[in-house]
Chain A
Amino acid sequence: MGYTWNWHVFLEPSPEGGTYLSFLLDGLLWTLATAAAAWLLALAAGSAVGVMRTLPWRWARGLGTAYVEIFRNIPVLVQLFLWYFVVPEIIPAAWGNWLKALPDASFYTAVTAIGLYMSSRVAEQVRAGIQSLPPGQQMAAAALGLSPAQAYRHVLLPVAYRLILPPLTSEMLATIKNTAVAMTIGLLELTNRARAIQEYTFQVFEAFTAAVVIYLALNIAVTCAMRLLEHRLAVPGLIRTK
């Protein structure tokens, strides 16, 4: 191959001060911060919408369905652009200017866009989890005199969350991967920094190999942590728990 490898590039000083290695690891921190914040948003909004889709009221189910269909049928990149370019224009001018002047605007935009996009997928998992429970659970809760809210809080959700941990792990990994899309609005996360190193130094394969290794490590770490959690939270007496 006509390519000259130079792994020492990571020890060379970057234009931002520090070495290229610290430059890349800084990107990892942005990836982690964005993914963590987006995941919390996805989990909160997704749980609310997922629950709505199982409620006995037609309007609540309809609203939840509309939410899910809108957020999952528009590409995440388009949603990101809508939040970044369009929302500041269509809200009152004073708010729009405040939004545009916000420091780290690309970070907040990425968290909002990716968080809400992922929330539609989390909502589907939460709904599936609740609906997979035998109807007797809800009836038993009602027979004990629990209000519907109490039934969700103390009976349905605790079991449903434990059942959907494996798919939630995939959604969590998807959230991490989706943060790379935010490079298009200038967020200096991992993929963006790998690309920047390629532009500064032309050592494209070192930069991207390092990013690949970091993403893999991140994946393995999350998967292992969630396995552990699954094991600890397994519902006793089900086929899947030994």
Chain B
Amino acid sequence: MEHAEGQHDPATGHQHAVAVAQHHEVGQQHPLGIYFKIWGLLFVLSTASYLVDYFHLQGYLRWFLIITFMLLKAGLIVAIFMHMLWERLALMYAILVPPLLLLVLLWIGAVEGDHTFFTRGTFFGTAAEAPAKH
């Protein structure tokens, strides 16, 4: 323990910090061009998803397009702007895998919502017979 404490004397600690900083600079220093490209791409994708609403696309086509544009934008932000693309796999998996659990919550929520909708239709009579606009 004393040995470990000894390693944190100011001189070595400073050298260590510098070494880490230098190493890191090499790791996450990227040409500016890639940020401008992603910036532009995000504008295009946002415009596209806005146009989905503007032209009143409905049904499965609307859903497909909205979800696709959403996931593309999210992927670009996380991968490039947040530099996840260049991180080590250990960090990448630690952060990106746990949110997949949310799919279970999503599924439960959908089942629960449908069930509540049908019971409301059954027990609250005619007023509820018109299906809700999803």
Q: Do A and B bind each other?
A: no
